[in-house]
Structure formats: structure tokens, C-alpha cells
Amino acid sequence: MQKLVNGTLLDMTNDELNEFSSSVLDPDAEMLIRSKRDRLLSDTDWMAMSDNTMTPAWASYRQALRDVTAQEGFPFSVDWPTKPE
């Protein structure tokens, strides 16, 4: 997230993000992000079935979804992984 200082966009520090998020953003943000992550994982469960060979790209995507909650800035700043084709 960025802030405008003297006409210049600057990245907010983690402290600024935390202060902003606790005062302005939806208090249910973590629940909403986790729900989205869970839905995206659920959409890929068919790739993990025993009769299917999961490619490394799909395995990496699923692991990146699991790691969303460990990202710096979570839940207010999330870098969503790209779904393989």
C-alpha cells in the first residue's frame, strides 16, 4: 500500500500499514482472505487425487496458496499466486 507525501507516492512501512489497517479496514479482512484462499485451494483439490499426477507447477501453486497467511502484510496486503494453465 502506498501513501502520498508532497505529491510523491511512497510505500507505507509495516507500522503504518498496521495502524491504517486497524483503524480503517474491515476487521473481518483476515477471515475474508482465508476464505478466498480456501476456495482457491478447494478448486484445485482434483489435482491432488490419487488418479492424477500433479505437475510441479500445480504443486507450487497449491503451496503458495497455503503460504498466503505467512506473507508480510497479511491480511491487508496479499500477493496472490498465479494459477497454472
Q: Is residue 80 part of a domain?
A: no
Check: CB of residue 53 under 8 Å from CB of residue 67.
Answer: no
The answer to whether residue 37 is domain-embedded is: yes
The verdict on residue 81 lying in a domain is: no
What pLDDT, in 10s, does the model give residues 6-24? 888 889 888 787 777 665 6
Please give the Cα distance from 22 to 30 (Å, whole number): 12
Residue 30 resides in a domain: yes
**Within a domain: 50:** yes
> What cell does 29 get?
479482512
**Residue 61, C-alpha cell as written in the block:** 501453486
Count of the separate structural domains present in the chain: 1
Range(s) of the domain holding residue 43: 2-70
pLDDT at 27 over 70: no
Q: What is the pLDDT of residues 41-79, one digit of tens each?
A: 999 988 888 788 889 999 999 999 999 999 988 887 899
